[in-house]
Structure 1
Amino acid sequence: MKERITKAFLAELEPKDRPYEVHDTEMTGLLVRVQPTGKKSYYFTYRNSQHLRRRIRLGTVENMTPNNARDVAQERYSDIMKGIDVQTQKVLQRKEAEATKNRRLGSFINELYEPWILTHHKYGKGTLSLIRSRFSCFMNTPLEEITIRRIEAWRKDRLGDGIKPTTVNRQVAALRGLLTKAVEWEVIPDHPLQKLKALKTSSTPLVRYLSPGEETRLYRVLEERDTALKEERLRGNEWRKVRGYHLLPDLSKHTYGDRMTPMIILSLKTGLRRGELFALTWHDVNLNKRLLTVRAENAKSSKTRHLPLSETAYNALKAWHKQRDKNNPLVFPSHNGTKLTNVKKSWASILDKAQIPNFRWHDMRHDFASKLVMNGVPLNTVRELCGHADMNTTLRYAHLAPEHKADAIATLG
């Protein structure tokens, strides 16, 4: 359909069931496209240097008059006569804009890195959370502009806030891993932090473990806590009984008031990581052989390891097994039956009552390794029991067994 495009003519155009076009008789290549919704837009059609037909959108009828559209179409025609393929340039500019967007840290994470790390890394969710929270100031920064100078300034601020160098190094390592993938996927040509040196840290980091007094207080508080929980349940059921309510399970015949005591005992006596403990199932526990298995899919090293149960750990698990939820495969499920995510509130309360300062849940793992070394267990055996990926991690406990140095000197006579 051809017609001289005017304001009056455009006003008379009615939408149809399918889109249709009207070509202008005054300006070759100019047309109006009418959508079923009633939206009308100007387009300019042409053939490029390869004689391929192309079209470019000029604007909407409501924002551009016919004369304006002819002027813009004339400019596009002049570009074409000069050998400039307007549409191809527009496509390239769009692709470049999209590429630039993906090169920004936030967009790169959302579009590329997040799907990959969640699929290939067990702790990918935690890594993403760390990067997004600690490097939020860089989210709109192109990846290649996350330079050594900027990260050094960031590290200075973190250290000024009292963050330990080891923690800062670990956070920067997460960002470096992301940038390594960006280079591997050819999003950026070079790694901007390739020559960044890690902050110097102590070669023998302090290891926190329980003193004999702290250990005694901890077990006393756990025992008192279990007794209090059982008594509280009895009083609660008496209250329910009077009012005709459904009674909760009687805890008086059980060893523990809840999961906290057996969880803590098992952590202290096996060195399980928190994630390994939360993922533990009864299928992983062999009470007959007194053996506990950490499956590869739950281990940080992605390697299966088997841990013999000490008398204390065995008795704790045996007692907990008797009062377990028989319909739940998890050894320590949450109150609603799902896998635990944290026990921070209960743990903090226990430490406060036991007067044990500066002791994290993970420090129970340090306590396990430290006590083994202090009891003369070879470091390589400690490494195997803890599931350390390399010996360097285990060597942090070497100073706790100074007698091996004395034995070496003694051989000189």
Structure 2
Amino acid sequence: MANINLTINYVEKLKPSDKKFNVRDKLINELILRVSPSGTKTYYLDVKLPNRRTMKKIGDAVVLTPQMARERAKEMLLQIQAGETFKPKLTLRKLLDKYYTTHELENYKTGQYTIDCIKKHFTWLFDRPVESITFIEIEQWRSKRIKTVTAATANRNVDMLKGALTYAYKHKLIDSNPLKGFPRLPEADSEEKVRYLTDEEYAALMVALDEREDELRAKRARTRAHAKGQHLPDTSATVYADYFKPLILTALGTGIRRNAIFHLLWSDIDFDNDTITLRASWAKNKKTAIIPMSRKVKAVLEAWRKECPGEIVFPSPKDGGYLDNADQSFAVVLKKAGIKNFRWHDMRHDFASRLAMAGVDLNTIRELMTHSDISTTMRYAHLSPNVKKKAVDMI
């Protein structure tokens, strides 16, 4: 087979066969792409050493573009010419598992949170040599990230990754830090970040949630009408069609952070004393907190408890384990309600803002929000222009 000018399009369209086969690059003869029967595509360097011929793995095609593979192949060829042996490159996975996780857990209370965030947001870099990470790909990731979070949150995410790479460089695990000098995004003033629902938006959201419930029930009824769907539970008489509406009502009525509410257990809910325990393992500040439960939230959870008898309060509909996100359903109901520029975390802002507008003092809001410092509470405890107008009209 003649050498091929490997391109992204060519590699993506390449089909596997019943036996593995190689495609040699036209630009760098030593670079080959191996395609296995399972469809796995891997770049190798095929070189002739003084006493033997050998193939050295460069990386997976799902991670490396052809041009990236060529650059790595050139580096490896230069190593051979210089008489160097192939040193295994430090991947992000190895950096976390062998070095950085232990460092974070031993030195910082928020160490586990940092590691969890890196694993959540940068899994796509795990099997890459850390020195191959580039500014442009992190910029591209961040551009997508800020569509759903604030610039401050995106900055924190990148800072966590940069912290791991800085650690590797300081401890001479890598020769250079690929993200040294990576710029942070400008962050808006704290008041600009606070977003809460107007009364009209809140009402529209409730209508959208009810419409979603009706659609789910209608879909379930159609499915149960067929033999293959008769084993599914009948939701026509249940209070909730699935987990999503009680999840949103609980989030709006408690201000609990997303990660904590996704990991709530029924053992955390005390219906006798009307409290919810936020376990330290899922709290941002890694401290256990007990918050009061309003009558509305209690009614929601009591009704949902009858329909959800397992251990997890809001289990994933996929596997019954912990939820990892509810972004798609959230986006659908927001669109249906005509609500724009409202993120999941803004439900927390909404909770604090409504407390402030109801005249609740800042220290109580701080305790309900589980803030360590009241200065953090100040950005939530704002008043809408209408409330300010009513206040001056009272004079």
Pick the TM interval, shorter chain.
Answer: 0.5 to 0.7
Q: How does 1:199-210 map to 2 (within 5 A)?
A: 201-204=187-190, 205-210=192-197
- From the superposition, tell whether residues 176 and 395 of structure 1 become closer, same or farther in structure 2 (CA, over 3 Å): farther
User: C-alpha distance in 2, partners of 1:156/1:222?
Assistant: 35
Select 2:259's aligned residue among 275, 299, 306. 275
Match of 1:86 in 2: none
Q: Is 1:362 the counterpart of 2:351 in the alignment?
A: no
Counterpart of 1:174, as a letter, is M
| Superposition deviation, residue 354 in structure 1 | 1.1
Match of 2:359 in 1: 376
Per-residue CA deviations over 1:214-269 (Å, capped at 9, x if unaligned) read: 100111222233234334434443x24xx597443222332111111110000000
| Superposition deviation, residue 309 in structure 1 | 1.3
Per-residue CA deviations over 1:118-142 (Å, capped at 9, x if unaligned) read: 995135233145457699999326x
Select 2:330's aligned residue among 331, 339, 347. 347
SS of corresponding position for 1:264: helix
User: C-alpha distance in 2, partners of 1:333/1:358?
Assistant: 27
8 A contact 1:262–1:317 mirrored in 2: yes
Counterpart of 1:329, as a letter, is E
Counterpart of 2:117, as a letter, is G
Select 1:233's aligned residue among 220, 225, 239. 220
Select 2:202's aligned residue among 215, 224, 240. 215
SS of corresponding position for 1:121: helix
| Superposition deviation, residue 366 in structure 1 | 1.3
SS of corresponding position for 1:307: strand
Counterpart of 2:376, as a letter, is T
| Superposition deviation, residue 368 in structure 1 | 0.8
Per-residue CA deviations over 1:136-190 (Å, capped at 9, x if unaligned) read: 999326xxxx9xxx97x99999999995653553244214422553477565899
Match of 1:319 in 2: 303
Segment drifting more, 384-393 vs 363-372: 384-393
Match of 2:242 in 1: 258
Match of 1:170 in 2: 156
Counterpart of 1:352, as a letter, is K
User: C-alpha distance in 2, partners of 1:357/1:369?
Assistant: 20
SS of corresponding position for 1:330: coil
SS of corresponding position for 2:380: helix
Q: Is 1:330 the counterpart of 2:312 in the alignment?
A: yes
Runs of at least 5 residues in structure 2 that lack an aligned partner in the other structure: 1-48, 54-82, 390-395
8 A contact 2:353–2:383 mirrored in 1: yes
User: C-alpha distance in 2, partners of 1:264/1:355?
Assistant: 17
8 A contact 1:275–1:298 mirrored in 2: yes
| Superposition deviation, residue 203 in structure 1 | 3.4
8 A contact 2:217–2:235 mirrored in 1: yes
Match of 2:99 in 1: 112
8 A contact 1:134–1:171 mirrored in 2: no
Runs of at least 5 residues in structure 1 that lack an aligned partner in the other structure: 1-58, 64-92, 407-413
User: C-alpha distance in 1, partners of 2:181/2:302?
Assistant: 53
- From the superposition, tell whether residues 252 and 134 of structure 1 become closer, same or farther in structure 2 (CA, over 3 Å): same
TM-score between the two structures when normalised by the length of structure 1: 0.59
User: C-alpha distance in 1, partners of 2:301/2:126?
Assistant: 42
Match of 2:37 in 1: none
Match of 1:286 in 2: 270
| Superposition deviation, residue 317 in structure 1 | 0.7
Q: How does 1:57-72 map to 2 (within 5 A)?
A: none
8 A contact 2:279–2:289 mirrored in 1: yes
Counterpart of 1:169, as a letter, is N
TM-score between the two structures when normalised by the length of structure 2: 0.62
| Superposition deviation, residue 344 in structure 1 | 1.9
User: C-alpha distance in 2, partners of 1:304/1:371?
Assistant: 24
Q: How many residues align?
A: 304
| Superposition deviation, residue 374 in structure 1 | 1.7
- From the superposition, tell whether residues 178 and 392 of structure 1 become closer, same or farther in structure 2 (CA, over 3 Å): farther
- From the superposition, tell whether residues 321 and 196 of structure 1 become closer, same or farther in structure 2 (CA, over 3 Å): closer
Q: Is 1:121 the counterpart of 2:107 in the alignment?
A: no
Q: Is 1:301 the counterpart of 2:285 in the alignment?
A: yes
Segment drifting more, 397-406 vs 170-179: 397-406
RMSD: 4.5
User: C-alpha distance in 1, partners of 2:278/2:145?
Assistant: 35
Max Rg structure: 1
- From the superposition, tell whether residues 404 and 302 of structure 1 become closer, same or farther in structure 2 (CA, over 3 Å): farther
Match of 1:390 in 2: 373
- From the superposition, tell whether residues 217 and 405 of structure 1 become closer, same or farther in structure 2 (CA, over 3 Å): closer
Per-residue CA deviations over 1:83-130 (Å, capped at 9, x if unaligned) read: xxxxxxxxxx999x86x955x878745753367669951352331454
SS of corresponding position for 2:131: coil
8 A contact 1:105–1:140 mirrored in 2: no
Match of 1:139 in 2: 130
- From the superposition, tell whether residues 389 and 183 of structure 1 become closer, same or farther in structure 2 (CA, over 3 Å): farther
